[in-house]
């Protein structure tokens, strides 16, 4: 992805979050200079991968297959005792987050506002294939049973609970508008607990055609590298 495209998506996200009256931490909008000045106090942010995250899942077409999200809080089994996480996601119409599951993470996916969120679920087999059995889940505490891959529509305010090892993909329903989706879960580990049904790329390679508007979680390493170089 090009940095200019990511900057554009962040500007659109700011406007949409403001429209939905949803607020994220002030450091989300820090300049590079302010990050450099405050990085010693921000170990939890770096260690737990809090902040902006943009991916096209290796598709080279963000609006067909991609996701913009912001991790607000997260734990880290090696670093602290926090055992929960929260994200906010902006999902475009027909923009797919591809089939994947988590072996450890249990999560609630919540439609916080905007259009309708479409979920498609499958149970996973021991060989990480798609099972043919029906699947039982809770939508806002009400147990429901669905066929594999059946479209589950979550309107604003509705949520679904996903236990580990449930394949899921989602997108915003066409002609209903983009969706502001929340995720509340146990600790999130994108590096080790994402299992995609098809081969995908989770963190994109970025072409630096302009300066970053705001830092992505994948940009934090550049801060540490700059600090190390300065010491040497």
Average pLDDT of every residue of the chain = 94
Say whether pLDDT at 215 is over 80: yes
Q: How confident is the model at residue 232 (pLDDT cuts 50, 70, 90)?
A: very low
d(CA 68, CA 76): 22
Asked whether the beta carbons of 159 and 181 are under 8 A apart, the reply is: no
Q: What is the pLDDT of residues 142-153, one digit of tens each?
A: 999 999 999 999
Higher pLDDT, 232 or 112: 112
The residue-averaged pLDDT of 86-109 equals 97
Strand 97-101 relative to strand 85-91: parallel, antiparallel, unpaired? unpaired
Q: State the CB neighbour count (10 A cutoff) for residue 128.
A: 13
Task: Collapse the DSSP code of 25 into the 3-class scheme (helix H, G, I; strand E, B; otherwise coil) and give the result.
Answer: coil
pTM: 0.93
Say whether pLDDT at 5 is over 80: yes
Helix (H) or strand (E) holding 7: helix 3-19
pLDDT given for residue 228 in this prediction:
41
Q: Where are the domains of the chain?
A: 3-231
pLDDT given for residue 77 in this prediction:
85
Residue-by-residue DSSP string for 120-166: EEEEB-TTS-B--S-EEEEETTEEEEE-TT-EEEE-TT-EEEE-TTE
Say whether pLDDT at 43 is over 70: yes
- The CATH superfamily holding the domain 3-231 is Jelly Rolls (2.60.120.10)
pLDDT given for residue 223 in this prediction:
81
């Amino acid at each position: 992805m090009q940095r200019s495209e990511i900057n554009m998506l962040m500007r659109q996200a700011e406007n949409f979050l403001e429209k939905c009256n949803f607020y994220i931490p002030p450091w989300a909008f820090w300049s590079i200079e302010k990050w450099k000045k405050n990085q010693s106090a921000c170990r939890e942010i770096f260690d737990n991968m809090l902040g902006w995250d943009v991916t096209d899942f290796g598709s080279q077409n963000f609006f067909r297959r991609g996701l913009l999200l912001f991790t607000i809080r997260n734990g880290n089994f090696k670093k602290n005792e926090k055992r929960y996480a929260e994200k906010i996601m902006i999902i475009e119409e027909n923009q797919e987050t591809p089939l994947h599951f988590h072996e450890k993470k249990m999560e609630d996916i919540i439609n916080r506002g905007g259009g309708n969120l479409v979920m498609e679920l499958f149970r996973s087999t021991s060989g990480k294939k798609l099972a043919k059995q029906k699947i039982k889940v809770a939508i806002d505490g009400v147990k429901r049973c669905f066929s594999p891959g059946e479209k589950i529509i979550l309107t604003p305010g509705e949520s679904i609970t996903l236990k580990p090892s449930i394949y899921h993909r989602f997108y915003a329903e066409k002609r209903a508008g983009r969706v502001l989706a929340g995720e509340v879960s146990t600790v999130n580990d994108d590096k080790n607990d994402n299992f995609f049904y098809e081969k995908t790329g989770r963190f994109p390679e970025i072409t630096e055609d302009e300066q970053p508007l705001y830092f992505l979680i994948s940009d934090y390493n550049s801060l540490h590298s700059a600090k190390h170089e300065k010491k040497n």
